[in-house]
Chains A and B, each alone.
Chain A
Amino acid sequence: MSRSELSVSRWLEAHTDRGAGLTTLPRNAILTDIVGNGDYHLVITDLKLDNDTKSRLKVYKGTLMTHDQALSNTPNSVISFYADLNEPRIPVVGVACGSELFLYKNLKPFYKCKVPSCPLSEQESELWKTLMEKQDFNSEDIIKELKKIPFSLLSSRSQHILNLESPLKIEEYIRKYINSMPTKENVITCMSTIEKTTHDKYSVNCPIIGTEFGNIYILDPQNFSILHQANTCNVKATPFIIECSGLYDIEFRIIVACREGYICILRKGWLEGKSLIQITNDIVDMVLIPGDNFITVATADKGLHCYTKRGQKLWSATTTNSITCLCLVPLDHINMYMVAVGMKNGLIHLYHGRHLTDFTVAPDTPSVIVFGPVGQEENVMVIVTMGGTISFKILKRTADFSNRNHESVPVLQGKPLPLPKRSKLFLEQSLRERQSAVEIHQTFQQDLLRLRLTTARALVQNLSDQSGVGNEKENIKLSAQVLGLGPKFTVILTLENINPNKVLTGLSVTFHSNPIFYTLTTYIITVPLIPPSLSYKMETRVQETMSETSSETSVAELEPAGVKVIRVFVTRYDHPRPILAATINMPPTEFMV
Chain B
Amino acid sequence: MGLFQKLVSFLGVGRKEVNVLVVGLNNSGKSTVVNNFKSDDDKVTDIVPTVGFSVERFQKQNLAFTAFDMSGHGRYRDLWEHYYKDCHGIIFVIDSSDRLRLVVVKEELDLLLQHPDICQKKIPILFFANKMDCKEALSSVKIAAALGLDKIMDKPWHISASNALTGEGLQEGVEWLTQQIRELLSVKN
Residue positions of A touching B, CB distance < 8 A: 1, 12-15, 62-64, 333, 374-378, 380, 392, 394, 396-398
Contacts and interface: CB of A to CB of B under 8 A. Distances in A.
A382 to B, nearest CB: 10
A contacts with B: majority SS: strand
Given A376-B25, A378-B74, A397-B77, A62 B98 contact: yes
A374 B99 CA distance: 12
B169 to A, nearest CB: 22
A396 B74 CA distance: 10
Contacts of A380: 100
B98 A375 contact: yes
B27 interface: yes
Contacts, number: 49
Interface hub of A13, A15, A374, A397 (most chain B Cβ within 10 A): A397
Contact of B103 (A14, A62, A378): A14
Nearest to B102: A14
Given A1-B111, A1-B114, A333-B74, A375 B136 contact: no
Given A1-B111, A1-B114, A376-B26, A15 B74 contact: no
B101 interface: yes
Interface string B13-50: 00000000000011100000000000000000000000
Contact of A13 (B25, B99, B103, B115): B103
A396 B25 contact: no
Given A1-B111, A1-B114, A394 B104 contact: yes
B101 A14 contact: yes
Nearest to B116: A1
A12 B104 contact: yes
Contact of A64 (B103, B104, B111, B136): B136
Interface in B54-76: 74-75
Contacts of A378: 74
A397 to B, nearest CB: 5
B183 interface: no
19 contacts: A1-B115, A12-B107, A14-B100, A14-B101, A14-B102, A14-B104, A63-B99, A64-B99, A333-B74, A376-B25, A376-B26, A377-B101, A377-B104, A380-B100, A394-B100, A394-B101, A396-B107, A397-B104, A398-B111
Interface in B107-131: 107-108, 111, 114-115
B27 A376 contact: yes
Interface hub of B25, B26, B101, B107 (most chain A Cβ within 10 A): B101
Contacts of A333: 74-75
Given A1-B114, A12-B107, A398-B111, A374 B74 contact: no
Contacts of A14: 100-104
Contacts of A397: 74, 77, 104, 107-108
Nearest to A3: B111
Contact of A375 (B77, B101, B103, B107): B101
Given A64-B136, A377-B100, 18 more contacts: A1-B111, A1-B114, A12-B107, A13-B103, A14-B101, A62-B98, A63-B99, A375-B100, A376-B98, A376-B101, A377-B104, A392-B100, A394-B100, A394-B104, A397-B77, A397-B104, A397-B107, A397-B108
Contacts of A375: 98, 100-101
Nearest to A378: B74
Contacts of B75: 333
A144 to B, nearest CB: 62
B100 A62 contact: yes
B45 to A, nearest CB: 19
Contacts of B27: 376
B77 A62 contact: no
B100 A374 contact: yes
A48 to B, nearest CB: 27
